[in-house]
Amino acid sequence: MPKPSEHNERFRREHASIWNSFSKLAEDCHSEGPLDEKSRRLVKVALAIGAGLEGATHSAVRHALEGGVTQEELDHIAVLGVTTLGFPAAMRALSWLDDHSGD
């Protein structure tokens, strides 16, 4: 499984106040609404895929797997993207998801 990037770790060390504020915002966003943990994780993966953000997708997938989401469920997100985002975007998403298969 890809690990958080060196850039993230460097940013966390060099800009701790910003990192802490961002982390607090993320916690607040996750706890604000009625969605359960698994649903939130699935949505975050779908949002990252839809935005075409590879790094965010990898991060969201790591958290989703930690939260009990299965590889099959993740793959289904990409399949659903075929009719929403288009075939090339769905294939791109599957390639990013494959980076985590077997984790």
In a domain, residue 94? The reply is yes
Cα angle value 103/91/51 (rounded, 5°) = 90
In a domain, residue 88? The reply is yes
Question: What would the pLDDT profile of 38-62 be if each residue is shown by its tens digit?
Answer: 999 999 999 999 999 999 999 999 9
In a domain, residue 103? The reply is no
Residues in CB range of 55: below 8 A, 6 or more apart: 5
In a domain, residue 78? The reply is yes
CATH number, domain containing residue 30: 1.20.1290.10
In a domain, residue 26? The reply is yes
pLDDT of residue 1: 41
Question: What would the pLDDT profile of 23-44 be if each residue is shown by its tens digit?
Answer: 999 999 989 999 999 999 999 9
In a domain, residue 1? The reply is no
pTM for this prediction: 0.84
In a domain, residue 13? The reply is yes
Q: Find the domain containing 50 and state its range.
A: 6-98
Domain count, the chain: 1
